[in-house]
Amino acid sequence: MMQTIIFYALAIGLLTLSFFKDKQKTKKSLKKAVKALENMMPQFLGIIILVGVMLAVIDPDMISKLIGSSSGWYGTIVAALVGGVTLIPGFIAFPTAALLLQGGAGYMQVGAFVSSLMMVGVVTVPLETKYFGKKVTMARNILAFLYAFVVALIIGKVMGEL
């Protein structure tokens, strides 16, 4: 929340400064901002609804059964896959992860889940492709997915599960 306020203060401050320095340029930059936002809107809105529907359908109980602490690497793979295909805002993701831990999920699996959740974005692939092309998008997402297992391994060691 704090950060959003800082961002608004920064944006409004710089916009005011820009306005006093050059009205034309300010107008141009605002036009660009609106155009860029409108350009992305269809994707943003679609993604939001997709995520909402996914979260409503996925049952946390089922997930914690699949990725329990005795589920080992199999559970870690499931966790990374679930993390990769879902896109959950952080303020929901971490409490969910905490619930999963309480529900019997292992640290390794939760580590893989959180890591791939943040770095891999299957639902945002079309958006990413628009800017980075297919090759970079695929490479980045696949590598980030694999890296989730490195994170799981390290967390498993540190938390004493391995």
Partner 1 sequence: MKKFVNRYKFFLVMVLVTIGLYIIDPIAGDKAVDTIGFSFKELLSVLPPIFVLLGLLDVWVPRETMVKYMGEGSGIKGILISIFLGSAAAGPLYGAFPLAGVFMKKGVKFSNVLIFIGAWSTTKIPMFLFELSALGTKFALTRLIASMIGIFVIGHLVDKAIKKDDVDEIYANAAQMNV
Residues 38-67 that bind partner 1 (CB under 8 A): 39-40, 42-53, 55-57
Position 125 contacts partner 1 (CB under 8 A): no
Instruction: List, in sequence order, every residue forming a beta bridge with 90; answer none if it has no partner.
Output: none
Shortest Å distance, C-beta 86 to partner 1: 11
Among the residue ranges 66-74, 78-86, 142-150, the one whose residues contact partner 1 (CB under 8 A)? 142-150
Residue whose CB is less far from partner 1, 47 or 78: 47
Q: Which of residues 71-110 bind partner 1 (CB under 8 A)?
A: 87, 89-92, 94-95, 97-98, 101, 107, 110
Q: Which of 18, 72, 104, 122 binds partner 1 (CB under 8 A)?
A: 18
Residue 68: phi and psi, rounded to 5, are -60, 160
Rg, Å, the chain Cα set: 20
DSSP annotation string for 80-143? HHHHHH----HHHHHHHHHHHHHTTB-HHHHHHHHHHHHH--STTHHHHHHHHHHHHHHHHHHH
